Amino acid sequence: MTDDERLARVALARAVEPGDEVGGRWVREFGAVEVARRLMTGGEQLPGVSPTRWEGLLGRAARARPEQDLAQAREAGVRYVCPGDGEWPAQLDDLGDGRPLGLWVRGRPSLRMWALRSVAVVGARACTAYGAHMAGTLGAGLAERGWVVVSGGAYGVDGAAHRGALGAGGATVAVLACGVDRPYPRGHTQLITRIAEQGLVVGELPPGDHPTPSRFILRNRVIAALTRGTVVVEAAYRSGALVTARAAHRLGRFTMGVPGPATSGLSAGVHELLRADAVLVSDAAEVVELIGDMGELAPDRRGPVLPRDLLEPGAARVLSALPGRGTATADRIARGAGTTEDDAVGRLYELRALGFVERHGDGWKLTRQAMISVRGGHGRC
């Protein structure tokens, strides 16, 4: 990346909004230096825009001071990473003409290396205690497994995911919709400062630039493209987190959702994703099984092993044939178990030795221990 190319891209970041595919096409077809020259000098109009919009772009470009932006960034410990740099994450190129002109990066680690093993955890700002718990647990679990947790630095799920990763001593990246030298929201200044010290803070907008609603939405495409997959923890039907998930799906990334109560409006958007193309996950192990390398499998899920689970099948059938209350004769038990009376009697004495049944005259009944075991296994409501 030449100095002229870098300066041109920094200048264009002041003139062209993030994700502007027309501007991206100009850069691809004419080069960043030529596009910046025409905009900053009022040169020949580039194709694909109206005269009114062209005038607007010229007005914005006239205020660009790329050398000043780079100097201000250096003072704040921020570097500018462009396509072609060694630190540029190649997966962002999947955005085509909508890829960032470059990224402002605050923090010591290599963005390219961290992005290779990263996962996005996003969700509602006004999340419930359940959503905050799940996001924090996911962030910590992913960090403990060596994964980089990427989110947007916002209140709610984003903040909980970042804190979970930081609390586990792991890696996390905050992708902002404003200048990385001006943390937003302001209530997260301390959190974002900590992320910059322990991880990375990334953004497309030049130093000092402010967020807007459209910039939040466009920021989400970067989160989706940067990571191997996106997990949504709580999202209403109209949620920026769903924008991230849908962008991830379009880009061929994994899309995952954490289910919540069917009665919760904050889980309605997640459930809609799960009805479509997303995969249900409940913890970090299941996320890693989906997006990780071969062999990174989640443990088998099963209930506790009960004593009756260890019985030989014939003995288990005889045990199941005993009534829940009262006694039963050996011939009645034999009929229920589908065996002979002699076999049933032999099994009953075996079960008595193990503490499952007891004899009362000519009948047999379950012990208290067996009743608890059998009822627990039947899963009564």
Q: Tell me, what amino acid is at 81?
A: V
Rounded to 10 deg, the angle between the 129-144 and 284-291 helix axes is 50
CA 230 to each of CA 95, 96, 287: distance values in angstroms, whole numbers, following the listed order: 16, 20, 9
Whole-number pLDDT of residue 380 = 40
Whole-number pLDDT of residue 299 = 63
Q: Write the pLDDT tens digit of every residue in 152-185.
A: 999 999 999 999 999 999 999 999 999 999 888 9
**CA proximity to 171, closest of 190, 197, 189:** 197
Of the candidate ranges 125-139, 192-206, 302-316, 322-336, the one whose mean pLDDT is the lowest: 302-316
Cα separation, 215 vs 130, in Å, equals 28
Q: In what order do the strands lie in the sheet with 172-176?
A: 78-81, 103-106, 200-203, 172-176, 148-151, 118-123, 229-233, 254-258, 279-280
What number is the average pLDDT over the span 72-79? 94
**CA proximity to 58, closest of 46, 68, 70:** 46
pLDDT at 206 over 70: yes
**DSSP secondary structure string, 234-295?**
S--SS-HHHHHHHHHHHTT-EEEEE---TT-HHHHHHHHHHHTT-EE--SHHHHHHHHS-TT
**CA proximity to 158, closest of 126, 196, 183, 200:** 126
pLDDT at 87 over 80: yes
pLDDT at 103 over 60: yes
Q: Which residue bears the tokens 């010591």? A: 108
Cα separation, 149 vs 165, in Å, equals 7
Q: Are 225 and 249 in contact (CB under 8 A)?
A: no
φ, ψ of residue 258 to 5 degrees: the values are: -100, 120
pLDDT at 378 over 90: no
Q: Write the pLDDT tens digit of every residue in 27-45.
A: 999 999 999 999 999 989 9
Whole-number pLDDT of residue 238 = 87
Whole-number pLDDT of residue 325 = 85
Whole-number pLDDT of residue 301 = 65
Cα separation, 307 vs 57, in Å, equals 75
pLDDT at 300 over 80: no
Q: Which residue bears the tokens 């296994």? A: 377
CA 358 to each of CA 56, 152, 355, 366: distance values in angstroms, whole numbers, following the listed order: 90, 63, 8, 6
- Please, which pLDDT band fits residue 302 given cuts at 50, 70 and 90? low
pLDDT at 15 over 60: yes
pLDDT at 191 over 90: yes
Q: Which residue bears the tokens 């962002």? A: 92
Q: Which residue bears the tokens 């890693």? A: 288
Whole-number pLDDT of residue 381 = 38
Of the candidate ranges 110-119, 249-258, 311-320, 372-381, the one whose mean pLDDT is the lowest: 372-381
Query: Encoding tokens for residue 354?
Result: 């193990």
Kindly report whether the global pTM for this prediction surpasses the value 0.75: yes
What residues pair up with 200 in beta bridges, in sequence order?
A: 173
- Please, which pLDDT band fits residue 368 given cuts at 50, 70 and 90? confident
Q: Are 247 and 122 in contact (CB under 8 A)?
A: no
